[in-house]
Amino acid sequence: MEDVRNVIVIGGGPAGYTAALYAARANLEPLVIEGFNWGGQLMITSDVENYPGYPEGVLGPAMMQDFRRQAERFGATFLTDDVTRVDFSERPFRVWVGDDEYRAASVIVATGATARQLGLESERVLQGRGVSYCATCDAAFFRDKTVVVVGGGDSAMEEASFIARFASKVYVVHRRDEFRASPIMVDRARANEKVELVLNKVVTEVLGEGSVLGVRVQDTLTGEESVLATDGLFVAIGHDPNTALFLDQLDHDPESGYLITRGKTTETNVPGVFAAGDVQDHVYRQAVTAAGSGCAAALDAERWLSEQRHASLSGFAVS
Ligand code: NAP
């Protein structure tokens, strides 16, 4: 067990590293428990073209390395491992990585979100062998091939149009005949002659051994089954926040699991615990909004810590 830190940042994506940068520059000497697979969702992204300041675009992993180095430059330290347990019921807060315990006066939760899976055994077996959750990363492997995209949201539409730059044919399989995606995104996919929308269908099995050869689909209205021959399956059905560690301690949306923060702040229901980035934002989910939220969390934590210090000097406890 170590000394009590000013702040522990849990998570190493745009939100976590930006929180670390701001906390480090405020002399709070943050410890970032960044996760074994640090970097977040941008590590499985190639070109990032919408992060301001990079007019030529930047590779996602390179950008995350830059974020990390910038926080390190001002004194943030990193632990490249996963948090396994937290206890926010008493102060200082307690955070465990296996048997190792870390304590801090404040905590910033920035654990992000993870791509949803269909939940099929055949999908799991063929992950990385034709089943992908990231078109930007893997579309180029399907040059002149046939691909199935699952989903009816903006991600599915965007990915279908993107994959069509490489593939010769893209089926978008959606379980309804109405789209969650914005009309302009649907129109763009429809207008693409390589893209075919397959409606009222769900994928029930990914076919192939060692590589994807097809998907079995079932009609949601008639129950009828058929097979679509395909070389790849891109699952684009949304994301889940990485909040399992916190559900018994932090207020969250009961359906989606996203952490709830108060008003425009990053404050959770536990004073001194803040949440930033995709773990509390299901709307914007951009690197730049996550980074902004990480900045806000560090400023909120800094303010809270100085209020605590002030209160303890004047003999009052702040909660
Ligand atoms: P989403 O909006 O939640 O859409 C998920 C889609 O997957 C829905 O159509 C849903 O069907 C379907 N789905 C969910 N679980 C499924 C399952 N088990 N089997 C089959 N289909 C399933 O997620 P998203 O598309 O990732 O978008 C998330 C957010 O990011 C949205 O706010 C979106 O606007 C935003 N976004 C914006 C852009 C952009 O503007 N460029 C690009 C990407 C994402 P149902 O509709 O039937 O529920």
For 218, the domain range is 117-235
Looking at the structure, tell me whether residues 203 and 276 fall in a common domain: no
User: Of the ranges 9-13, 238-242, 294-298, which one carries the lowest mean pLDDT score?
Assistant: 238-242
Per residue in 112-130, pLDDT (tens digit) is 998 899 999 999 999 878 9
Which of 172, 176, 237 has most ligand 1 atoms within 8 Å of CB, for mutation? 237
Q: Is the pLDDT of residue 317 over 60?
A: no
Q: For ligand 1, is residue 150 a contact (CB within 6 Å)? A: yes
- Residues labelled as active-site residues: 134, 137-138
CATH of the domain at 127: 3.50.50.60
Looking at the structure, tell me whether residues 146 and 289 fall in a common domain: no
Amino acid 134: pLDDT: 80
Q: Is residue 149 part of a domain?
A: yes
Q: Is residue 317 part of a domain?
A: no
Tell me how many domains the chain contains. 2
Per residue in 46-67, pLDDT (tens digit) is 567 789 999 998 888 899 999 9
Q: Is residue 287 part of a domain?
A: yes
Per residue in 4-46, pLDDT (tens digit) is 999 999 999 999 999 999 999 999 999 999 999 899 877 766 5
DSSP code of 173?
A: E
Say whether 252 sits in a helix, a strand or coil. strand
How confident is the prediction for the chain on average, in pLDDT? 94
Q: For ligand 1, is residue 271 a contact (CB within 6 Å)? A: no
pTM, two decimal places: 0.77
Residues in the chain: 319
User: Among 219, 235, 251, where does a domain finish?
Assistant: 235
**Residue 257 buriedness (CB in 10 A; 0-12 / 13-18 / 19+):** middle
pLDDT above 90: percentage of residues in the chain: 82
Amino acid 319: pLDDT: 47
CB 304 within 8 A of CB 106: yes
Q: For ligand 1, is residue 153 a contact (CB within 6 Å)? A: yes
Within 13 Å and on the Cβ side, how many CA atoms surround 11?
31
Amino acid 146: pLDDT: 98
Q: Where are the beta strands (DSSP E) in the chain?
A: 4-10, 31-33, 47-48, 58-59, 77-79, 85-87, 93-97, 100-109, 113-115, 131-132, 146-150, 169-173, 195-198, 201-207, 214-219, 225-229, 232-235, 239-241, 273-275
Within 13 Å and on the Cβ side, how many CA atoms surround 294?
33
Q: Is the pLDDT of residue 131 over 80?
A: yes
Contacts of 193 (CB under 8 A, 6+ apart): none
Amino acid 133: pLDDT: 83
Amino acid 46: pLDDT: 59
Paired tokens of 166: 């490489």
Q: Is the pLDDT of residue 106 over 60?
A: yes
Q: Which residue has the tokens 């923060």?
A: 261
Looking at the structure, tell me whether residues 103 and 136 fall in a common domain: no
